[in-house]
Amino acid sequence: MKLSELLKDDSTEENIQRLLYSGLDYDGSSAGAIMVLGSRKACDYRVPEAARLYSEGRAPVMLLSGGKVQETSLGEMPEWESMERAAVTLGVPREKIITERESMNTADNFMYSEVLLREILPEGGKIILVTTAYHMRRALLMANKMLPKYGFIPCPVQKGSATKENWYKTEKGRLTVLDEWRKLSYYIRVGIFEDTEI
């Protein structure tokens, strides 16, 4: 089924599950880099997963992308800084961390990271993409659209109130996934993403 066809249907629990979570589990592959997208809670949710991948030898370097100043569990600071602090605390050597410090949203993450990726990966290189589970479909579509010279391996983090196991159990979880549904619908409608099979 095409993404656009699914988005024309009602946002039922089954359709949301397919849109945001189906077919996106991490397959255990190794890559040339791990890329972590910033958020207010990225240092708590996303970075520990990326640090685990690094410690298991899945990739030799980590790119942390996010310039927005947010109130994180480590204090008010840019996303990249909170993520870097968390990664170092979790055992990732600072010299193995690259920080992208300008991005304010998901599209920016990839736009501003391109020049950094070119320095560490050849064309066709693989990147493990780490973000929160509900955000992965949109992030992966954006990555493939903006950085088509690389291959992205999804590694969704199943933590928080909108994982594939719990999003329907709370109002917060439902509101989060419905917001993602609306964003994906808009991006497809205006042609930001390629229509793809899911």
pLDDT in tens, 29-83: 999 999 999 999 999 999 999 999 999 999 999 999 999 999 999 999 999 999 9
Kind and range of the H or E element at 72? strand 69-72
Structure tokens of 30? Answer: 């190794």
CB of 20 closer than 8 Å to CB of 134? yes
85-94 pLDDT, tens digit each = 999 999 999 9
The predicted structure's pLDDT at residue 98: 98
* Structural class in CATH, domain 25-156: alpha beta
DSSP letter assigned to residue 2: B
Burial 171-184 (b: 16+ CB within 10 A, else e): eebbebbeebbeeb
CB of 59 closer than 8 Å to CB of 89? no
Give the span between the Cα atoms of 57 and 71, in whole angstroms. Answer: 31
pLDDT at residue 198 is higher than 90: no
Structure tokens of 132? Answer: 């929160």
142-196 pLDDT, tens digit each = 999 999 999 999 999 999 999 999 999 999 999 999 999 999 999 998 888 888 8
Domain regions of the chain by residue span:
25-156
Burial 64-73 (b: 16+ CB within 10 A, else e): bbbbeebebe
Structure tokens of 71? Answer: 């109130």
Kind and range of the H or E element at 89? helix 79-89
122-131: average pLDDT: 97
pLDDT at residue 122 is higher than 90: yes
Task: Give the closest residue to 59 by CA, choosing from 89, 85, 24, 28.
Answer: 28
Q: What is the pTM of this model?
A: 0.96
